Amino acid sequence: MLKKIFKIFKFIIIGGIWTPVFLCFSRLLMVKIWQFDIFYKKQWEVMKGFWNGNGVIIGISDYMLFVTLFFLMLFWFFILLFLCRLNYFKLLLKPIEYISNREIKRYEQTNNQIVLKNMSVAEKITIEDVIKERIQQEKKQDKKVKEADYLRQNISEKIIKKKEQ
């Protein structure tokens, strides 16, 4: 129910915007080509009098005037349906989508390697080198722990000897 109300509301708003725009452009077209103003009542009365007086349409321009008047209504209706079917949210997001896709394409074309600016230029460090360094650091720490244990043991022995004396 709510969707139907929303569609009707959308149709009314779009029709309210499209109809005046269409009428202005169609008036300009009709005045420019046939000197027929669709908003001028006297011109419609002249056409009605011609039609009721069993007037004969002579020439291609008279036929084109009536065909144009007929197709203007169809054109208005079908463009109105087209405008109602458009997704305006997607239309509003098109510029943002275009910019983001352009940025993505730009970065896709660049080299896939990661560049770290703060690393030294002369030496490239691999994962194996990092692992070796960590192992060496652990070994040094183990030696220090062993040396500390050795020192503690020597000190405790000396303390015990002094207490015995």
Task: Give the pLDDT confidence of 45-92 residue by residue, as tens digits.
Answer: 998 998 899 888 888 988 998 899 999 999 999 999 999 999 888 888
| Separation in Å, CA 80 to CA 35, 101, 107 | 26, 31, 41
Q: Indicate the angle between helix axes 2-34 and 60-85, nearest 10 degrees.
A: 150
Cα–Cα distance, 48 to 60 (Å, whole number): 19
Residue 132: pLDDT band with limits 50, 70, 90:
confident
CA 63 to chain centre: 47
What is the per-residue pLDDT for 13?
94
Question: Could you read off the pLDDT of 145-154 as tens digits, one per residue?
Answer: 667 777 777 7
Stated pTM of the model: 0.55
Mean pLDDT calculated for residue range 79-107? 88
**Higher per-residue pLDDT: 130 or 40:** 40
Half-sphere exposure (Cβ direction) of 25: Cα atoms closer than 13 Å = 9
The pLDDT of 121-135, averaged and rounded, is 75
What sign does the CA torsion over 147, 148, 153, 154 have? Answer: positive
pLDDT at 76 (0 to 100): 96
Is it the case that residue 4 has pLDDT exceeding 80? Answer: yes
**Roughly how many angstroms between the first and final C-alpha of the chain, as a whole number?**
104
Contact 76, 19 (CB under 8 A): yes
